[in-house]
Chain A
Amino acid sequence: MKLYSLSGHPTLPCNVLKFKSTTIMLDCGLDMTSTLNFLPLPLVQSPRLSNLPGWALKDGNTFLDKELKECSGHVFVDSVPEFCLPETELIDLSTVDVILISNYHCMMALPYITEHTGFTGTVYATEPTVQIGRLLMEELVNFIERVPKAQSASLWKNKEVQRLLPAPLKDAVEVSTWRRCYTMQEVNSALSKIQLVGYSQKIELFGAVQVTPLSSGYALGSSNWIIQSHYEKVSYVSGSSLLTTHPQPMDQTSLKNSDVLILTGLTQIPTANPDGMVGEFCSNLALTVRNGGNVLIPCYPSGVIYDLLECLYQYIDSAGLSNVPFYFISPVANSSLEFAQIFAEWLCHNKQTKVYLPEPPFPHAELIQTNKLKHYPSIHGDFSNEFKQPCVVFTGHPSLRFGDVVHFMELWGKSSLNTVIFTEPDFSYLDALAPYQPLAMKCIYCPIDTRLNFIQVSKLLKEVQMRKLRPERRRDSHKVAQVPLHVVCPEQYTQPPPAQAHRMDLVIDCQPPAMSYRRAEVLALPFKRRYEKIEIMPELADSLVPLEIKPGISLATVSAVLHTKDNKHVLQSPPRPIQPPASKKRKRVSDDIPDCKLLKPLLSGSIPVDQFVQTLEKHGFSDVKVEDTAKGHIVLLQEAETLIQIEEDSTHIICDNDEMLRVRLRDLVLKFLQKF
């Protein structure tokens, strides 16, 4: 079992798991932090941005001044923003059989994989994931395509040139593989390869493994995946939440009895509690609007925004904000707000019950009805006519590099009355703000990340491990043994965040210690497959005569032909040999086996060392010594210079070319064992 890590981003994972002859890609997240190195794409011509000075090398060389611009000490690429794709060289992606998607944030690289790598497999995802994922992709394509940029910078990517650049451009990884955004055509083609699945639905992959999505509680339709064969179970946990927000709660029980747990998508801000952050968000919003300022909230068009609108729905009256307009601007704003209301079966219990009243599950419907919340596809058109200040604007993109948010940053950035509140945790707010400096508007950072934190992870692991008692099949079915759970996670989760090196509580703490991976690494999982399920044909089973060797345990020898097809194994009765005419009639099928007589009898039982020594002494061996070893015992016959090694499943008699002695000793040993 191997795991290929194609992404270095812990919350935007892209891993490939090779398990029992299948190749499964787990998520295909797109790392968009690369866009922070680019200048924002303004919707309206921005004199400030277009007049930024070109960047010159220390020696005054200005050959890059067309591609790189300087703003308040930071250098930005003046070009269409580009994204950092998952690794495509580590493994031949055309061999990937299936792609399992866990939530809509983790599928943004899908078109790159399905359209450009020779991928011929199937993608599995839940319906809300696909629908909202489509909205996110549509928004992204729209944001970038509606502001065509003539220039495309490429000089700076040259390795020799890159070395000369200031940080962070200098340290950006694999810039040569960065790609522009895909087109709507590619998006549609990629999405057409998706097959919809429901929670707990079992999907057979080539008869070898079964995959099942489980609710992960993080977003509408978000899932964790169980990948299991008859005897092995791998859980893939990605972006899960235990908080009571809008999605269906996380299914933890189904994760029990896993052998391997691949853990990704934990909270990116482990020190911030979402409840506290919502409090900060509301207070700062209220204080700004009270003083006549506007509030800008850069956000994705789906997800936390639903919860924020719900909070504000309850809060605006208490804070006296009833007359303040709330605007939600996105090319997919309308669809997103509508979609949320129709996916009732994917919502938490409270919201589901509302549907039967019937009421819309989310209160933003009421906000829209009462005109408190208005949504527009863009700042152009109706919005510009109806826009009133002070107001609260939700708009994308959280990177502040494209989308309507760029316009509002330019518009409101100069006044200290206004506030920008960062709620999405995906981008560093300081980096996001860098091309807007100097900035007078207030900046509040209250990242709301509802994904699991480390305390919740340790509880989850305990829970998953708690009932990991399974019959130890090899020896005694009454005995149970704890099988270790192997946790596999991105390396970021095994050490405290660099800024808080002392916070040892911010790592995954489990036994055995978690195995970590980093981008472009291949991990051989320590887990060995030991069993395979084989069916036995009824007539063959019928012919077996089990012999009870100790109470509750019976054995029988089987001679059969093993048929293997489509990863299914069947034992069939061996073909009857062509009967020599003279042969007698045989009574038993097993007698048909030609070389069965050559088989030595099978032995069972254990050798009680004390009694064995007594027997030896009775048979004239003096000076017998017993030594305990890690695996069993060694009986030393010093005079005869002979060693008898007795271990759990083997016994060796080591003597010097004295076959007679060996046979004598062997017979003594055999006296203690049962034969059949």
Chain B
Amino acid sequence: MDIECSRLLPSVCAVLVDPKQFVADDTCLEKLLDWFKTVTEAESSLLVLQENPCLTELLFHVVKLQDVNSNILSFTLRLAGIFAAHENSFQYLQQGEVLLSLFSEAGPLSRPAWEDPSVRSGWIQGVGSMVQHERAVQFLCDCGAIDVIFSLQGDPSLFVASTASQLLVHILGFTMHSRRAVPLTTQDCDWPVCARMIVGHIEESLRSGTVPQITQALNVLTTLFGRCHESWTEVLWMRMNPFVGSLLEKEPLLAAHSLVDLFLSMARSPVFSHLECDLWILSTRALNRLSPTQSGPLALGILNLKDCPQTLRTKAFNILLQPLACVLQAASQPTGSPGLLDESLNDSVITDILLSSKSSCAGLLCQTLAHLEELQPMSHLLIDWPHVPLLSAVMTILRFCSGLATPASSVGDRLCGILIGCFRVQRSALDFLGTLSQGPSPSELIRGVVEILLVYLKSPDSSPTVLKKAFQATLKWLLSLSKTSTSSDLCPQTQHFLRDLFPILQKRLCSPCWEVRDSALEFLTQLTKHWGGRAGFRQALLSSEVPELAEDLLRDPESYVRASAVTAMGQLSSRGLCSNPIGTGSKNDEKKSLFLELLEILSTDSEGFPRRAVIQVFTEWLREGHTDVSKDKEQFVTKVLQVVSCDLDWEVRVQGLELALVFLVQTLGQHETECPYAVEMSSVTQSTQLTESLQMLCHMKLFDFIFSALCDCDRPVARKSCDILLYLKAKLAHHGSLQGSGEACTESLGTQNTAWLETTLRKWKARDQGQPSEVADRGDCQEPDDVLEVLRSVDLEGLRGTLAKSSDHIEKSPQSLLQDMLATVGILEENEADCY
């Protein structure tokens, strides 16, 4: 601890214990604790205590005070814990019996302040920090703290309850870890006292028959097996196994979710993952006993495991498939479509859930679909991934939901009635349908998929969120269809699909609901991105009104739609699918060019999203060499940056810098190091080219923009600008252009900061204004020498380091923290004085 802090500390402690003083900002206390933690880890905590007696006094004082602020009491408990974590400090504090008066039953437990959850939380955190050595554990056992922790497991404050559980795990883990050399049996006498107490408590809770207690015990075990993978946990499990096993026999099944969590936590532990483990037997029993909604997560967890018995995996997979099998059965699928499960399905439980109410039906189906969707990427690992039946099942669900299905069975009829218009299930099913595009599907089923997707895209009843999912699924299927087709163009089936799709897209782009217009535009963008080059797609698109409609949406009243329209038009234009060319200078055209239209959005749109979209489109155009942009890149970049430099949104300015960087790289070439085998031109030619390029960049006022960005008050902008300048510096240094011609330059080499730069920029501006008008008009405001001087002078590397740090790094020192605390109290006093 530095001297200055030591000097300030007594005053701070005095403020803390003074009931008249009030630390308004309790984050200060948190920061103070963090600091003490660092201090005690870095140096001897005992020394800190001894050198700063005010700390011990603080603890004593708070213990004695009857009417102490609960924040301060909580702080003190945690502070004591931090110091007591070190054995010598623990002993030091024990001598004064501070710890006893803080953590034993005679402490805050008996005071009214205990009612405040922050005090209980402080107590438990204090105990938690303390448990780093045997003495502390012994102390806790002796003073009855363990029983307090047990009772806090059921605390009304969830934070306290969960910390109490974790603390038990920590204590148990610590106690057993320190005894790991001693061989262990299930016999009680082998276990250390403290561990015996905790394990006994867990056993008792498991036997209690009450849900909260069972849940608490199971949560402790779950956390323990999740965190601690030592061999003693297996012995512990041998003790727990009968109790947990008997829970599975109970009717009704209690704390089912916690049981699932326990099994999964154990299954992930290397201690239990061997194939002979009895965990698998219990898991199988659990799968049989749990209700379908409860067993789903367990089944999914089992299937996600690396190693587990194949029979269990099969069982788990069947559990996941059951609801969908029920759906297929209810639909009485015509013969020829194979079922999901080989064994004849006779699960009335699932049917009952599906038919009992809309919410339980939707709940089970959505959960199942989500689980299967999660498993799909691993489908190659599952031996019998039933791709085709799953596809039929999900299509059946979608037909049920849209009222298209005509089920022959009474179950199907009722299921259909429940599912019609159920958006939740529609969304999940469409998601899963999209996922199933990855996999081999027979063509007649693909036809079905296309039909059902068109139904959802067309239906006026599809809600905006359902429609968005339908668009996403359609995109996935379209792309997968094109993957399977061997020719370079789209297969006839896809062509046909597109013919039906574009009129729908047209209508959706005119929807009065902005979300629908937005998702339609996103879909158009994605499709164009992937298929912009395919003749079939181009033909279908250009023969529709879609491009014109998308262009009209650039003037949509909703900013999100405008942004999406900008992106879509940018994409269409890149692919040459836009009706009017973007020509940068075509002011006399009858119709405004797309470039000017986007530029207008960039300069006038009141919302940030469309402007960000525009600058991104421009950057993309420049990057990929859009033909119309390539004709006159300089003019394009100059115009865009002119607008961007005035933008109030920092994201737009950062993206503007990205555009500048793309242009610089295109002009000056990549980083030198990136291509070591490139053919080098002679250095003379290169430096001539470089000078010319610099001249041009100055002429474009590119550096004006980059330099002012370096002084930008928004950090990301300044960082980006700094990165660009560093690139430029490296580039120029490589060619020796930075060596400087005069002595004046070398003086200030790499030492200047942004303040200097700001002054310099102002000087240039003044100089420009003094110049004859024709020169100013030319925009030739800087010379390459000016730029080189800046690059030489400013400490860019240092600046990058500063900018990389968070904005409060200067205010973060402990000294400033202590000063702040005192200052706030001081201000408080002044205010009080004012009152008189």
- A residues engaging B (CB < 8 A)? 271-273, 276-280, 282-284, 286-287, 290-291, 311, 314-315, 317-320, 446, 455, 500, 502-505
Q: Min CB distance, A318 to chain B, in Å? A: 5
With A and B bound together, what is the CA distance between A275 and B834 in angstroms?
Answer: 62
Evaluate contact between A273 and B511: CB separation under 8 angstroms.
no
Among B403, B405, B407, B512, residue most surrounded by chain A Cβ atoms (within 10 Å)? B512
C-beta contact mask, B545-563 vs A, less than 8 Å → 1, else 0? 1001100100111100000
Contacts A280-B507, A318-B557, A320-B555 known; 10 new A-B pairs at CB < 8 A: A273-B421, A276-B460, A278-B512, A282-B510, A282-B511, A282-B512, A283-B507, A284-B510, A287-B506, A505-B417
Residue contact A276 to B459, C-beta cutoff 8 Å: yes
Give the residue of A290, A320, A502, A505 whose beta carbon is less than 8 angstroms from that of B406. Answer: A502
A315 contacts B461, C-beta separation under 8 Å = no
Q: Would you list 7 pairs from A and B whose C-beta atoms are within 8 A, ordered by A residue?
A: A287-B545, A315-B512, A319-B512, A502-B407, A503-B416, A503-B417, A504-B417
- Are B512 and A311 in contact (CB-based, < 8 A)? yes
- Cα A319 to Cα B513 in complex, Å, equals 11
Which B492-539 residues sit within 8 Å CB-CB of chain A? 506-508, 510-514, 516
CB neighbours of B513 from chain A (8 A): 279
Among candidates B413, B508, B516, residue contacting A502 with C-beta atoms closer than 8 Å: B413
The interface on chain B, measured as residues whose beta carbon lies within 8 A of the other chain's beta carbons, has a size of 31
A318 touches B512 (CB 8 A): yes
A497 to nearest B CB, angstroms? 12
Q: Which residues of B contact A315 (CB under 8 A)?
A: 512
Contact between chains at A287 and B507 (CB < 8 Å): yes
Contact pattern, B 116-133, Cβ under 8 Å of A = 1, otherwise 0:
000000000000000000
Q: How far is the CB of A367 from chain B (nearest CB, A)?
A: 16
The interface residues of chain A, by DSSP majority, are classed as helix
Known: A271-B403, A503-B403. A279 touches B506 (CB 8 A): no
Residues A286 and B403 in contact in the complex (CB < 8 Å), given A273-B461, A276-B462, A280-B460: no
Task: Return chain A residues, CB-CB under 8 Å to B511.
Answer: 279, 282-283
Residues on the B chain within 8 Å of A320, using CB = 552, 555
10 A-B pairs with least C-beta separation: A276-B460, A505-B417, A283-B510, A286-B510, A282-B512, A502-B406, A283-B507, A276-B461, A280-B460, A315-B512
**At the interface, yes or no: B420 with Cβ under 8 Å from chain A?**
yes
In the complex, what residues of A have CB within 8 A of residue B414's CB? 504
Given contacts A318-B556, A318-B557, contact A502 B416 (CB under 8 A): yes
Question: CA A315 – CA B510 in complex, angstroms?
Answer: 9
Cα of A500 to Cα of B402 in the assembled complex, Å: 13
Residues of B within 8 A of A287 (CB): 506-507, 510, 545
Query: Do A505 and B420 touch across chains, with their CB atoms under 8 A apart?
Result: yes
Is there an interface contact between A290 and B413, defined as CB atoms closer than 8 Å? Answer: no
- Chain A hits for B507, CB < 8 A: 280, 283-284, 287
Does the CB pair B416–A505 fall under 8 Å? yes
Complex CA distance for A272 and B406, rounded to whole angstroms: 18
Whole-angstrom CA separation of A500 from B416 in the bound complex:
13
Within the assembled complex, what's the spacing in Å between the Cα atoms of A502 and B400?
A: 11
Question: What residue of chain B has the Cβ atom nearest to residue A311's Cβ?
Answer: B512
| Contacting pair A273 B460 (CB below 8 A) | yes
What's the minimum C-beta distance from B601 to chain A, rounded to whole angstroms?
16
Chain A: which residue is nearest B514 at the CB level?
A318
Cα separation A276 to B514 with both chains bound (whole Å): 13
Report whether A279 and B516 are in contact in the complex, using a CB–CB cutoff of 8 Å: yes
A317 contacts which chain B residues (CB < 8 A)?
557
The complex places the Cα of A273 from the Cα of B407 at a distance, in Å, of 23
Question: From B419, which residue of chain A is reached at the shortest CB distance?
Answer: A505
User: How many angstroms from the CA of A291 to the CA of B552 in the assembled complex?
Assistant: 13
Determine the distance from Cα of A276 to Cα of B457 in the docked complex, in whole angstroms: 12
Shortest Cβ gap from B419 to chain A (Å) = 9
B231 CB to closest chain A CB, in angstroms? 59
CA distance A220 to B123 in the complex (A): 65
- From B421, B508, B510, A319 is in contact (CB under 8 Å) with B510
Distance of A291 Cα from B510 Cα, bound (Å)? 13
**Closest Cβ neighbor of A315 among chain B residues:** B512
A482 CA to B742 CA, complexed, in Å = 103
Docked complex Cα distance between A284 and B417 (Å) = 30
A647 to B135 alpha-carbon distance, docked (Å): 80
Residue of B nearest to A282 (CB): B512
Q: How far is the CA of A284 from the CA of B458 in the complex (A)?
A: 13
Is the pair A290, B545 in contact by a Cβ cutoff of 8 Å? yes
A239 CB, min distance to chain B CBs, angstroms: 22
- Chain B residues whose CB sits within 8 angstroms of the CB of A277 once the complex forms: 460
Instruction: Please give, as numbers and ranges, the residues of chain A lying within 8 Å of B512 by CB-CB distance.
Output: 278-279, 282-283, 311, 314-315, 318-319
Specify which chain B residues have a CB less than 8 angstroms from the CB of A291 in the assembled complex: 545
A319 cross-chain contacts in B, Cβ below 8 A = 510, 512, 552
A271 contacts which chain B residues (CB < 8 A)?
Answer: 403, 461
> In the assembled complex, how far is the CB of residue A316 from the closest CB belonging to chain B, in whole angstroms?
10
A566 to B732, CA, bound (A): 110
B contact residues around A446 at 8 Å (CB): 460
CA distance A277 to B460 in the complex (A): 6
Residues of A within 8 A of B516 (CB): 279
Question: A286-B510, A287-B507, A318-B558 given as contacts; is B460 within 8 A of A279 (CB)?
Answer: yes
Q: Beta-carbon contacts of B623-651 to A below 8 Å, as 1s and 0s?
A: 00000000000000000000000000000
Residues of A within 8 A of B510 (CB): 282-284, 286-287, 319
- Report the separation of the CA atoms of residues A284 and B514 in the bound assembly, to the nearest whole angstrom: 16
**Which residues from A are CB-within-8-Å of B417?**
503-505
